[in-house]
Structure 1
């Protein structure tokens, strides 16, 4: 059993940053890099990667986030903007890297660490894909970090995490659980204007809970029981 961290850069703009990320990954013992629609990777990227050119050249290049995170049990998105009155349900609760390390100790599986674009981060719909939100506390005087520096800070904290024998639930099974909850909300005529927000909150709750396979199946069993009781009561 092992705990693998995949660094996913979403549409990186500068090849120097990509090369520097590869270097930071090798500094802390990570090799799994995925790039979503990256900028051209030429001489500058290779130069900045230095002795981590193997990480750069071994990167998976995809056209979408969905392709980049295939096989990942948890999606963790990084953001420099945390909870506020605007869209606060999308960006909270936000963990810092040290807290994330504690939460993942003892588990096995693949964790995708997603970093947004240098100029505008993640789109709203992309943040909604995340199971957890990660942020790095910075000075209010100058809170914006360079992409490669942010990756280095996160990987430094996670480099000593100890895997265990507890497997994280498969992403496909978790997706089925979310679809099951979505159907139940329809069955109980949950207010339509609250449904999306509630589903996102449930997704984040499950992400923080670090569900294991048996827990997912138990929750789905409870939902099926509720739905059967609802059908029986309607027939009375």
Structure 2
């Protein structure tokens, strides 16, 4: 098994951008494109994809955000805006593309890199579903990049990445871990107004830790012992 990276465009508005993303993907050797509820893809998309038309034609088209992330071990969201405030966790911590490469070096498993809508980016709920956030440092006077340019910068960094022996935890196991944590917070009567933010913090901590299946099972074993002792 090796590291498998798929590019996900969430509700892209302009078919020219979709075609350009397909072209950039082929430039750097990436071939799996997923489109969530995209605009109609006609002649302009094919023209902009140039010699990467097969990536465009083989793109997986789905209806919802959750469909795009339910079969991946690590969900990476991109953002043009970050926050330096410690108590604003939705867009922090934000890694650069090179830092993401270092995190993924030597790993194997499936990773989705998500790009939001050209006009509104991601919703807060969508950002909360991301395990990691990445941001491309750009000119403060105009930091929002065209989506295909962003894809190019990120895939350039990741194109030389080497797979390794450390396997990322399976998506199903990670889902069980988060459900287990949520259950425990309810059992200990954790303050309701802090619960969502705390669960998001757990997701970001585990996202940058990039857990293995064994680590997930160990953590769940500890949670089960805590629950038994509480009873």
The structural deviation recorded for 1:84 is 4.6
What SS does the corresponding residue of 1:88 show, helix, strand or coil?
coil
Report what 2:181 is aligned to: 181
Q: Which residue of 2 aligns with 1:42?
A: 42
Q: 1:60-110 CA distances to partner (integer Å, 9 max, x unpaired)?
A: 000011112242110000001111559721000000000000001111001
Equivalent in the alignment of 1:16: 16
Deviations 1:30-59 (A, max 9, x none): 000000010000000000000000000000
Please name the residue that 1:95 is paired with: 95
Q: Which runs of 5+ in 2 are unaligned?
A: none
What's the TM-score, normalizing by structure 2? Answer: 0.98
Work out the CA distance in 2 between the residues paired with 1:110 and 1:225: 31
2:220 aligned residue? 220
Cα distance in 2, alignment partners of residues 194 and 134 from structure 1: 25
Correspondence for 2:118: 118
The answer to whether the Cα contact below 8 Å between 1:82 and 1:88 also exists between their aligned partners in 2 is: no
Equivalent runs, 1:82-161 vs 2, <5 Å? 82-85=82-85, 88-161=88-161
- Please state how far the C-alpha of 1:189 moved relative to its aligned partner: 1.0
1:26 aligns with 2:26: yes
The corresponding residue for 2:207 is 207
Return the alpha-carbon distance in structure 2 between the equivalents of residues 11 and 103 of structure 1. Answer: 28
Structure 1, unaligned runs of 5 or more: 232-236
Q: Secondary structure at the match of 2:25?
A: helix
**Partners of 1:86 and 1:166 in 2: how far apart?**
31
Query: What is aligned with 1:234?
Result: none
**Higher CA-based Rg:** 1
- Deviations along 1:207-233, one digit per CA (max 9) or x if unpaired, are 1100000000000000000110110xx
What's the offset of the Cα at 1:142? 1.2
Deviation at 1:126? 0.5
Q: Tell me, what secondary structure is at the counterpart of 2:61?
A: strand
Q: Is the 8 A contact 1:61 1:68 kept in 2?
A: no
Point out 4+ residue stretches in structure 1 off by more than 4 angstroms: 84-87
Measure the CA separation in 1 of the matches of 2:194 and 2:19.
Answer: 43
Q: Which residue of 2 is the match for residue 194 of structure 1? A: 194
Aligned length: 231
Separation in 2, partners of 1:80, 1:183: 34
